[in-house]
Amino acid sequence: MQPSKPEPEKKTKCVCGRRLRDASVYIYRSHGDRYLFHRCECGIEWTVRQNDVDPLQPVSSDEVIEVHKRLAKFEGSIAELLEQPQHPA
């Protein structure tokens, strides 16, 4: 197994020519972070680290409604959804 590499810098395509957003995505959640492991069909791998949300922190009904509205409008893959910038509450 090869060591994980950081995300390709501001590129939209892998060195093999495939789109980065078409790569497989695997998610691992630790106690404070979420790691998105990406793997292109050519074998190139990279990892993106995100701060995770505390599941014990209360969420308002307005926040739940906002998430549902955004998801209803979203068209794309799960990988694209996970890579959306997170907006502060």
Backbone φ and ψ for 36, nearest 5 degrees, come out as: -105, 110
pLDDT in tens, the chain (89 residues): 555 555 555 678 888 989 888 888 888 888 778 888 989 999 999 998 888 777 788 889 998 999 899 888 888 877 777 665 555 44
Q: Which stretches does DSSP call E strand in the chain?
A: 24-29, 33-39, 45-51
pLDDT at residue 89, rounded to an integer: 44
pLDDT at residue 10, rounded to an integer: 60
- Count, residues in the chain: 89
The model carries a pTM of: 0.54
**Domain limits, the chain:** 20-82
